[in-house]
A and B are shown apart, each in its own frame.
Chain A
Amino acid sequence: MKSKNNNRKNNKTFEDNETIDYLIIGNSAAGLAAAESIRELDRAGEIIILTAENYLNYSKPMITYFLAGAVNLDMIHFKDEKFYTDNRLDIRLNTRVKSIDTNKMFLITDDGKRYEFRKLLIASGGRPIIPKIKVVGAGSFDFIDGTNYEKVGGIFTLTNLEDAIRVKNYIEKNDIKNISILGGGLIGLKAAEAFLEKGIDINIIELADRILATTFDREASGIIERKIKSAGSNIYRNNTIEEIYIESGKITGYKLKDGRKMECSLLIIAVGVNPDASFIESGSLDMVKGIIVDDHMRTSVKNIYAAGDVVEGPDMLSGGKRNIAIWPLAVRQGTAAGVNMAGRNKRYGGGFFMNSVELLGIPSISMGITNIGEEAEGIEVLRDFDADRNMYRKVIIKNNRIIGVILIGNIERAGIYSGLIRNEIDISSVKENISREDFGIIHLPTDYKKHLVVGEGIEV
């Protein structure tokens, strides 16, 4: 699948030690958005993209769709091969970065090659968190963690396409009757849905007292939880895996924190994702968990930029810096980074968390701050909850501005809310309409309504 490239320059060897104009680590949403915007402004500069993976590109959020059989490998890419040739992008697959010298501006890859660059974008995304869990029966090791979990048959993570393909193959080759999923977050639940459609028994283990605890409130979690249970899945809340049992190199079961012993032939670990910045030497760039960037996607080192799931960037709602690992912001950050790398000026106005997910036929969208105590000062909550119809609408308001929304069941026109949050619109004059089921532009404050209706199309 390697990109065909007729550009003579791309055939040069690394021994040339030529300095690359634009070097991009990462071949997904942020990296490719950056490459595209660089190319729009700089027709001549050399752009090289490094990816640790073996695929031309694919949509990470769609790997659970692949698992469910809703898309195949031909449809999972979000940019086609022509995108690389049209934009003259030199893509290097299977190329993992080992270290970066931020003073001398070069990096070294796992295969020992050296890339000198004028400008660098780090858009390396995230990597799954693997908790350390005691194992019994493995022989050579007493614990699994991020370094060795792949050595056990039947234990997987689910953050990239390779993982999804491995899970799919494992299910086809082994007689899998039940699957356990550690983590009741978005990835875990989308995976559960994919397996439920295949008629496999599912156990979901969630450390918190409810699933989707970070994106939903109690009512919203409850709706999805009931639906998942009624589809045949078990949910173990306030729980985790304490011990994993292994026989002949494969997982056979585990012990829960509450003492119960469970059978298990396939375990998906989906407890979360951290920024993938393992190749960055501590102290060389300002970091927390992710790389700190300013409102132009600049890191603390000149000519090194970062974007996407690996960064801690401006958070509109708190005013501080935060890692918000979602697709739309990765694209927006990547675009801004690319423009700035090409020497123009584009400000990234910050973002806030948002997510759209449909589980077992129930669509849901959450955005902003969704789980805040109603007693907090200046906070007002409007809600419309109909548990029987699996319908829920919650709008959280702070000082007359919307800061968070949860929609379950009816997600029509959800984006009007995100516009209100982004533009910090004072909604005090129309508060009584904000949580209507038929909420629309016509209910908005006059000036903002006018801006939308007679305006030119929004500017981001």
Chain B
Amino acid sequence: MKRIYIQEEYCIGCRLCEIYCQVKHSKSKKIIKAFKEEMVDILPRVLVEEIGYNSFAIQCRHCSDAPCVEACISGAMQKNKNTGVVTCNEDKCVGCWSCIMVCPYGVIKRDLSGKKIASKCDLCIDEEIPVCVQNCPNEALKFMDKDAKEKNLVGNKGG
């Protein structure tokens, strides 16, 4: 499967990934409208961490043996056997936060805007390229197969 790879050396901490993620997961899908009217309700599903000049953006890694899927008591968190994408079925989720307890990346958030549910990256399944990757001005996020990754990423050595 294609995954999002992180090139932290290239991240400038501009947080455009977070903004486009929020717009993508808004009702209106329009940046101005989303920010004026829906902002408080939309969590970005990609997180930028930053200390000084050091920053990176991280979202769900869609792990092969995903601990969040294992821990989910309601059957809401599922890994699609064909695509490999891990998604949370919001109708089934009861907000027990077991997924938050086990995700070693800490990339699942509590969405309290309506019924309590777990909020996480869905890899923008309906887009060819996830919006955080599309809109990164510096290629700090890349969307590619594992094979392509070996050739194309700088931060891949010594890790």
Q: When A59-B74, A414-B101 are in contact, do A450 and B54 touch as well, CB less than 8 Å?
A: no
Which among A33, A75, A357, A413 is the interface contact of B106 at CB below 8 angstroms? A413
Please measure, in the bound complex, the distance between the C-alpha atom of A413 and the C-alpha atom of B65, giving whole angstroms. Answer: 19
Q: When A327-B73, A450-B159 are in contact, do A457 and B3 touch as well, CB less than 8 Å?
A: yes
Q: When A415-B102, A418-B101, A442-B56 are in contact, do A328 and B110 touch as well, CB less than 8 Å?
A: no
Which among B5, B101, B105 is the interface contact of A441 at CB below 8 angstroms? B105
Distance (whole angstroms) from the CB of A312 to the closest CB of chain B: 20
Asked whether, in the complex, the Cβ of A65 is within 8 Å of the Cβ of B94, the reply is yes
Asked whether, in the complex, the Cβ of A453 is within 8 Å of the Cβ of B98, the reply is no
Asked whether, in the complex, the Cβ of B96 is within 8 Å of the Cβ of A61, the reply is yes
Please measure, in the bound complex, the distance between the C-alpha atom of A365 and the C-alpha atom of B146, giving whole angstroms. Answer: 34
Please measure, in the bound complex, the distance between the C-alpha atom of A390 and the C-alpha atom of B61, giving whole angstroms. Answer: 32
Asked whether, in the complex, the Cβ of B100 is within 8 Å of the Cβ of A415, the reply is yes
Please measure, in the bound complex, the distance between the C-alpha atom of A129 and the C-alpha atom of B49, giving whole angstroms. Answer: 47
Please measure, in the bound complex, the distance between the C-alpha atom of A412 and the C-alpha atom of B92, giving whole angstroms. Answer: 21
Please measure, in the bound complex, the distance between the C-alpha atom of A357 and the C-alpha atom of B156, giving whole angstroms. Answer: 38
Please measure, in the bound complex, the distance between the C-alpha atom of A440 and the C-alpha atom of B47, giving whole angstroms. Answer: 10
A194 interface residue per 8 A CB criterion: no
Residue of A nearest to B103 (CB): A415
Residue of A nearest to B71 (CB): A328
Asked whether, in the complex, the Cβ of A356 is within 8 Å of the Cβ of B50, the reply is no
0 or 1 for each of A327-361: is its CB under 8 Å from B? (1 = yes)? 11001100100000000000000000011111000
Asked whether, in the complex, the Cβ of B71 is within 8 Å of the Cβ of A327, the reply is yes
Distance (whole angstroms) from the CB of B88 to the closest CB of chain A: 13
Asked whether, in the complex, the Cβ of A415 is within 8 Å of the Cβ of B105, the reply is yes
A454 interface residue per 8 A CB criterion: yes
Distance (whole angstroms) from the CB of A257 to the closest CB of chain B: 34
Distance (whole angstroms) from the CB of B48 to the closest CB of chain A: 10
B70 interface residue per 8 A CB criterion: yes
B-side interface residues, number (CB < 8 Å): 49
B117 interface residue per 8 A CB criterion: no
Asked whether, in the complex, the Cβ of B105 is within 8 Å of the Cβ of A460, the reply is no
Asked whether, in the complex, the Cβ of B105 is within 8 Å of the Cβ of A62, the reply is no
Chain B residues with CB under 8 Å of A354's CB are 101-102
Please measure, in the bound complex, the distance between the C-alpha atom of A355 and the C-alpha atom of B98, giving whole angstroms. Answer: 7
Distance (whole angstroms) from the CB of A265 to the closest CB of chain B: 29
Asked whether, in the complex, the Cβ of A453 is within 8 Å of the Cβ of B58, the reply is yes
B133 interface residue per 8 A CB criterion: no
Chain B residues with CB under 8 Å of A457's CB are 3, 61-64
Asked whether, in the complex, the Cβ of B97 is within 8 Å of the Cβ of A458, the reply is no
Please measure, in the bound complex, the distance between the C-alpha atom of A390 and the C-alpha atom of B88, giving whole angstroms. Answer: 29
Chain B residues with CB under 8 Å of A441's CB are 49, 56, 58, 105-106
Asked whether, in the complex, the Cβ of B96 is within 8 Å of the Cβ of A356, the reply is yes
Asked whether, in the complex, the Cβ of B67 is within 8 Å of the Cβ of A458, the reply is yes
Chain B residues at the A interface, C-beta cutoff of 8 Å: 3, 5-6, 8, 47, 49-51, 54-56, 58, 61-65, 67, 70-75, 91-92, 94-106, 108-110, 116, 146, 153, 155-156, 158-159
Please list 21 pairs of residues, one from A and one from B, whose beta carbons are closer than 8 Å in the complex, sorted by A's number. A59-B74, A65-B94, A71-B74, A75-B92, A78-B73, A332-B70, A354-B101, A354-B102, A356-B98, A358-B116, A411-B100, A413-B100, A416-B105, A419-B105, A440-B49, A441-B106, A454-B153, A457-B3, A457-B61, A458-B67, A460-B70
Pairs of residues from A and B, 9 with the lowest C-beta to C-beta distance, nearest first:
A419-B104, A413-B106, A78-B75, A415-B103, A328-B71, A457-B63, A442-B49, A457-B61, A460-B65
